[in-house]
Chain A
């Protein structure tokens, strides 16, 4: 069996790539995609831990993954609607143009 560290390292790399994207990318659509990457990193963690556990707790990981997927879908649906609204009102969705409120 593949050692669990391989999965955890993969998930951690995915999570860090997502976090970098959230902090560095000016396009808010890409930022939303990067938060999805971070959520999926957590999903990989859950599935990996679940596969290596025995007994009742092994099921919790799989339940949690289903919950995360549905929450992520709802969040992206609302998020893209909000970006569309921002584009209609402000004519831009770039983070650099959305700076009327500071401090």
Chain B
């Protein structure tokens, strides 16, 4: 079976077929809720939509891999002038977003924190946000990227605030919408300056125009404001202050969706815009940009890890830890080699499973009546041994303990900063800071593990815990992925390498 069955049926629209299915799903979701009034029905329908879209995406990804040919929106005609292009990078990232959406939707229906009254809208917003992410990775110019990112942002503002009676969610929503608006304004101002100084907004034309025209004051302003604007989206320091508040205030499945999905979309934008624009340029000086990214990466991981030590709320701790993880992935932006990008993409995948799994455990325990404080986790190993064991797996994986997935992906990522074609790279110091930070991070992860395994449970909370079964299924899937990717990374590492080469145009 190959993708020609799709191109025969869907013709010009094949490139955005996975997105079209998600959009149709999003549109019918409120109707499904209105007719059935059951959360389970909405969950089932949206899961079917996500799975169908994922299967189609996998077939298309396989086709791209064997044929080595892109699928353009509008085919080879000029109807849409290739506004969206399905490449193997786009296919791989779409797969990541579908995995995130699958887990988030799977657990939402049974979570105590998620709204019951507006669940149709909740499912629709979740699917629209996923679709926006998918459009971002398939876009071939800055218009597509901008509008896709906004589709994700606006629906996530609503998703955060849908936990309506909670004062913390209301506050988080206000903060998110204001910071998001600021980042949108910075981004669009930056795009306008880039457009004015380079005269193009097509992603593959940016590098040509940059080499021809070099640095101008307009381009400098444009690049800096764009980096700041998208820096807010990935919550890299110093643009990170909203992230802990929003992750704490939102319902835990939504926090998981934002920390693993929305953040990966921002990083994909960085790869698609800045990496493709600056990589391999020798005629014009690009070291300042590399150093800018290196400093953002170093500051993000240091701030994230150091501030996480002081946190007592586990959701805030995981939020700061994901700021640090964004810093690790930004190493690929500073090093600017296909190998480092491979590591960055692979770390994005493993981060989905380990951070997603940790957030899912927090969500399951909130449904079981356990609080969000780290001291509430005292003696968890006696109350729910499997949960405690899975949490230990995810936290050790986040810290980078072998043989778990976090170790393998960090190994590839950091070695990209150390090794550069037979010689020691100039970015060794960045890898050094990253490894030091991994050691710091182990401290606060082990603090949770100590609470779970060594401390005794507080008086009156010794009983066994019962949580919804779907949480157990989702957590088990994440745990299996974390172990398997750690021991046998090749089946995901090779598609990542293909996607990295594909994005950077080196075959």
* A contact set with B: CB distance below 8 Å: 8, 15, 18-19, 22, 28, 31-32, 35, 38-39, 41-43, 45-46, 48-49, 53, 57, 60-61, 63-64, 67-68, 71, 74-75, 78-79, 81-83, 85-86, 88-90, 93, 98, 100-101, 103
**Interface 9-residue window, one of B177-185, B257-265, B362-370:** B177-185
* Of the residues A19, A63, A103, contact of B310 by C-beta under 8 Å: A103
Tell yes or no: B441 within 8 A of A by CB.
Answer: no
Contacts of A38 in B (CB 8 A): 182, 185-186, 189
Contacts of A78 in B (CB 8 A): 154, 157-158, 177
User: Does A86 lie within 8 Å of B171, measured CB to CB?
Assistant: yes
* Of the residues B154, B173, B186, contact of A86 by C-beta under 8 Å: B173
User: Does B181 lie within 8 Å of A75, measured CB to CB?
Assistant: yes
**Interface 9-residue window, one of B196-204, B281-289, B400-408:** B196-204
B248 closest partner in A (C-beta) = A101
* Chain B min CB distance to A31 (Å): 5
* Chain A min CB distance to B412 (Å): 33
B192 closest partner in A (C-beta) = A45
Query: How far, in whole Å, are A47 and B448 apart by their CA atoms in the complex?
Result: 54
* Chain A min CB distance to B141 (Å): 8
Query: How far, in whole Å, are A8 and B192 apart by their CA atoms in the complex?
Result: 10
**A63-B143, A67-B146 in contact; A89/B167 too (CB < 8 A)?**
yes
Query: How far, in whole Å, are A64 and B194 apart by their CA atoms in the complex?
Result: 13
* Of the residues B147, B181, B186, B189, contact of A79 by C-beta under 8 Å: B181
Query: How far, in whole Å, are A75 and B200 apart by their CA atoms in the complex?
Result: 26
User: Does B184 lie within 8 Å of A98, measured CB to CB?
Assistant: no
In the complex, which range does the number of interface residues on chain B fall in? 35 or more
* Chain B min CB distance to A3 (Å): 14
Contacts of A35 in B (CB 8 A): 178, 181-182, 184-185
Tell yes or no: B244 within 8 A of A by CB.
Answer: yes
Query: How far, in whole Å, are A28 and B150 apart by their CA atoms in the complex?
Result: 20
* Chain A min CB distance to B168 (Å): 6
Say what secondary structure dominates the interface of chain A. helix
Contacts across chains A and B counted by CB atoms under 8 Å: 139
Query: How far, in whole Å, are A43 and B185 apart by their CA atoms in the complex?
Result: 10
Tell yes or no: B31 within 8 A of A by CB.
Answer: no
Tell yes or no: B188 within 8 A of A by CB.
Answer: yes
Query: How far, in whole Å, are A100 and B141 apart by their CA atoms in the complex?
Result: 41
Q: Chain B, 144-155, contact with A by CB distance < 8 Å: what is the 0/1 string? A: 001100100110
User: Does A18 lie within 8 Å of B310, measured CB to CB?
Assistant: no
Contacts of B186 in A (CB 8 A): 38
**A39-B188, A60-B195, A90-B167 in contact; A82/B201 too (CB < 8 A)?**
no
Query: How far, in whole Å, are A68 and B184 apart by their CA atoms in the complex?
Result: 10
Query: How far, in whole Å, are A48 and B181 apart by their CA atoms in the complex?
Result: 23
Contacts of B200 in A (CB 8 A): 57, 60
User: Does A85 lie within 8 Å of B181, measured CB to CB?
Assistant: no
A-B contact pairs, 25 of them (CB 8 A): A8-B218, A22-B181, A31-B178, A32-B177, A35-B184, A38-B186, A42-B189, A42-B192, A45-B193, A48-B196, A49-B195, A60-B201, A61-B195, A64-B142, A64-B191, A67-B143, A78-B154, A79-B178, A82-B173, A86-B173, A89-B170, A98-B171, A98-B174, A100-B167, A103-B307
User: Does B175 lie within 8 Å of A42, measured CB to CB?
Assistant: no
User: Does A82 lie within 8 Å of B177, measured CB to CB?
Assistant: yes
A46 closest partner in B (C-beta) = B192
Tell yes or no: B245 within 8 A of A by CB.
Answer: yes
B180 closest partner in A (C-beta) = A75
Contacts of B105 in A (CB 8 A): none
Say what secondary structure dominates the interface of chain B. helix
Contacts of A61 in B (CB 8 A): 192, 195
Contacts of A48 in B (CB 8 A): 196
* Of the residues B174, B196, B248, contact of A93 by C-beta under 8 Å: B174
Contacts of B62 in A (CB 8 A): none
* Of the residues B158, B178, B188, contact of A22 by C-beta under 8 Å: B178
Contacts of B181 in A (CB 8 A): 22, 31-32, 35, 75, 79
Query: How far, in whole Å, are A18 and B143 apart by their CA atoms in the complex?
Result: 23
Tell yes or no: B165 within 8 A of A by CB.
Answer: yes
* Chain B min CB distance to A102 (Å): 8
Chain B 299-326 interface residues, beta-carbon cutoff 8 Å to A: 307, 310
Query: How far, in whole Å, are A60 and B201 apart by their CA atoms in the complex?
Result: 8
Tell yes or no: B231 within 8 A of A by CB.
Answer: no
A48 closest partner in B (C-beta) = B196
Contacts of A18 in B (CB 8 A): 185
Query: How far, in whole Å, are A88 and B164 apart by their CA atoms in the complex?
Result: 10
Query: How far, in whole Å, are A28 and B178 apart by their CA atoms in the complex?
Result: 8
Contacts of A63 in B (CB 8 A): 143
Tell yes or no: B413 within 8 A of A by CB.
Answer: no
User: Does A75 lie within 8 Å of B150, measured CB to CB?
Assistant: yes
Closest CB pairs A-B (n = 9):
A38-B185, A35-B181, A45-B192, A49-B196, A42-B188, A89-B170, A86-B170, A42-B189, A82-B173
B176 closest partner in A (C-beta) = A82
Contacts of B154 in A (CB 8 A): 71, 74-75, 78
B222 closest partner in A (C-beta) = A45
Q: Chain B, 85-108, contact with A by CB distance < 8 Å: what is the 0/1 string? A: 000000000000000000000000
User: Does A101 lie within 8 Å of B192, measured CB to CB?
Assistant: no
Contacts of B192 in A (CB 8 A): 42-43, 45-46, 49, 61, 64
